[in-house]
Amino acid sequence: MTYLEQVQKVQKLNEEFKNADSLTLLKYVNEEFKSLALVSSFGAESAILLHLISRVNPELPVFFMDTGKIFSQTLDYKKTLEKQLKLTNIQIFHPDEAQLSLHDPKGIKHKTDTNLCCYIRKVEPLARALKNISAWISGRKRFQAASRADIPLFELENMKIKINPLANSSAEELSEYAALHELPEHPLLKEGYPSIGCIPCTSPVKKGDNPRSGRWAGLDKTECGIH
């Protein structure tokens, strides 16, 4: 498919699904895209999308970038959700050893160059994971941050279709879904972490503050580079 045809397809899908619920959208993309994967951080709100996927296709590949700086609570949470939701195809991607040796041999690059650190530990591994994938699902929501306020349900990025089935969902709707299905909470939520990434770049947030304000706090950085 040419670039123009891809753009037209994305526009058509955004129009077609603008009022659809997330489950309907996921059922469609699961049938439509033969090489499809979900990318999950197993963070604070990840259980909702993972639960929806488990209802549509528990064998769908779920890609997890283990940066080497992940909270042990997140790794435990991944195991809990994997078992509870009966997800059978979680795939873990690690940073390339040669890149680590070259750019971050002491594991402290996050202190001096967060963009390079994110590139080595997240962006490059994700590019590797998506090499043979034509469409991927992300859990981003518009309410999460001003930088995410306009995200569409479908977008085209590097000739791959990125699907954001929860883009339109509100925080209240997600909480209701999690309560209805009795989904386990990430253990760090009750410790004041509403958005959870790597240990050195995630801080607790005061009640009422922007949930993502604890990510790279004090830096002019709001995304890791994979979005």
> Which residue numbers are catalytic?
224
Are 44 and 71 contacting, i.e. CB atoms less than 8 angstroms apart?
Answer: no
Nearer to ligand SF4, 23 or 123 (CB): 123
Q: How far is the CB of 216 from ligand SF4 (least distance, A)?
A: 7
Q: Which residues contact 99 (CB under 8 A, 6 or more apart)?
A: 120, 124
Phi, psi of 76 (to 5 degrees): -65, -40
Residue closest to ligand SF4, measured at CB: 198
Q: Which residues bind ligand SF4 (CB under 6 A)?
A: 67, 69, 110, 114, 117-118, 121-122, 197-198, 200-201, 224
Kind and range of the H or E run holding 23 = helix 22-32
Are 140 and 227 contacting, i.e. CB atoms less than 8 angstroms apart?
Answer: yes
Altogether, the residues listed in the chain come to a count of: 227
Q: How far is the CB of 193 from ligand SF4 (least distance, A)?
A: 14
Q: Which residues contact 74 (CB under 8 A, 6 or more apart)?
A: 41, 42, 43, 186, 188, 196
Q: How far is the CB of 221 from ligand SF4 (least distance, A)?
A: 8
Nearer to ligand SF4, 45 or 124 (CB): 124
Nearer to ligand SF4, 69 or 128 (CB): 69
Distance CA 113, CA 108 (A): 9
